[in-house]
């Protein structure tokens, strides 16, 4: 019977939740502190946050950032300071996404999104320019053809910067000490050790909840074991499926509305069918 013992591993996994993702259609949720593609932010009035100080380029260990500042035009200033980032380039063939540039920036001009899936067909596309890094007029990041943006990739950018307190003082932990961003306002602080936290807004989840599928039975909370655990997992799965279905319905609704508007526009350009254009 020794050769049958190998099936024990398979049989023990049958009752456990599946961890396989249907990639790339379904992707694992990214962490709040995930480091992805950079964005150059604006203030809520539309002015750029970058002042061309070149601190990000100086601190970059991979030497992938190139910045040149210039004096602000008196009649049409680009940023609130005396100077602004005239040239800003990031070479993603070198970038290691360490986020040191974000930490060094005095105005929170550069942050990292959660986008990490982007590929290039030539080396020139890997060098992002300022025109590609600065956010749009509504505050959302520019979406380039070779990037695979998903819902939530632009939320809680560089969340770890809003998690810790200055100088290690817990009295200031969770206190908002950063400026608002165009299109997003003042982002909420990530939960740290203090009670001033909003996990629902930031998407922070306990580590045990995220890694529960990989824990040993004795490490899983009692409420998630046995029949109670099966019921809990079924409810969680049903809630995720409802959310996916709602998103799908919304996308289909928007697609139908767009097609209807396109048909109406084409009909208006060509004229009503059955009407003799010559007699008109």
Q: Specify whether 224 is located in the same domain as 186.
A: no
Q: Specify whether 132 is located in the same domain as 220.
A: no
Domain's final residue, options 179, 205, 231: 205
**Of 82, 173, 67, 77, nearest to 130 (Cα)?**
67
Domain count, the chain: 2
In tens, the pLDDT along 196-215 reads: 666 676 666 666 666 666 66
Do the bridges between strand 83-91 and strand 65-71 make them parallel or antiparallel, or are there none, so unpaired?
antiparallel
Q: Specify whether 151 is located in the same domain as 123.
A: yes
In tens, the pLDDT along 210-236 reads: 666 666 666 677 777 778 877 877 888
Domain encompassing residue 170 = 27-205
In tens, the pLDDT along 258-267 reads: 888 888 888 8
Tell me the C-alpha distance between 219 and 214, whole Å.
Answer: 10
Instruction: Locate 66 and state its tokens.
Output: 């190139």
What pLDDT shows up at residue 225? 74
| 225 in Cβ contact with 30 (< 8 Å) | no
Q: Specify whether 114 is located in the same domain as 64.
A: yes
In tens, the pLDDT along 170-180 reads: 666 667 777 88
Q: What is the CATH number of the domain that holds 85?
A: 3.30.70.3270
What pLDDT shows up at residue 271? 67
Q: What is the mean pLDDT of the chain?
A: 81
Domain's final residue, options 174, 190, 205: 205
Q: Specify whether 256 is located in the same domain as 163.
A: no
Taking the model in full, what pTM does it have?
0.66
Q: Specify whether 132 is located in the same domain as 151.
A: yes
């Amino acid at each position: 019977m020794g050769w049958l013992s190998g099936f024990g591993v398979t049989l023990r996994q049958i009752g456990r939740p599946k961890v396989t993702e249907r990639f790339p259609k379904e992707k694992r949720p990214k962490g709040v502190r995930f480091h992805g593609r950079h964005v150059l932010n604006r203030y809520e009035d539309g002015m750029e946050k970058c002042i061309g100080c070149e601190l990000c380029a100086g601190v970059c260990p991979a030497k992938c950032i190139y910045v040149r500042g210039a004096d602000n035009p008196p009649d049409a200033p680009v940023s609130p300071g005396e100077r602004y980032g005239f040239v800003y380039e990031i070479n993603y063939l070198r970038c290691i996404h360490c986020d040191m540039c974000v930490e060094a920036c005095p105005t929170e001009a550069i942050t990292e999104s959660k986008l990490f899936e982007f590929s290039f067909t030539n080396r020139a596309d890997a060098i992002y320019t300022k025109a590609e890094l600065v956010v749009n007029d509504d505050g959302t990041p520019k979406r380039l053809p070779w990037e695979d943006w998903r819902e939530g990739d632009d939320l809680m950018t560089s969340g770890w910067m809003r998690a810790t307190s200055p100088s290690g003082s817990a009295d200031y932990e969770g206190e908002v000490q950063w400026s608002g961003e165009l299109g997003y306002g003042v982002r909420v602080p990530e939960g740290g050790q203090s009670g001033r936290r909003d996990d629902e807004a930031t998407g922070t989840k306990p580590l045990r909840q995220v890694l529960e599928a990989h824990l040993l039975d004795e490490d899983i909370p009692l409420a998630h074991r046995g029949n109670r655990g099966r019921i809990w997992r079924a409810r969680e799965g049903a809630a995720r499926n409802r959310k996916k279905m709602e998103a799908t319905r919304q996308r289909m609704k928007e697609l139908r509305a767009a097609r209807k508007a396109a048909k109406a526009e084409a009909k208006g350009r060509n004229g009503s069918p059955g009407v003799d254009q010559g007699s008109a």
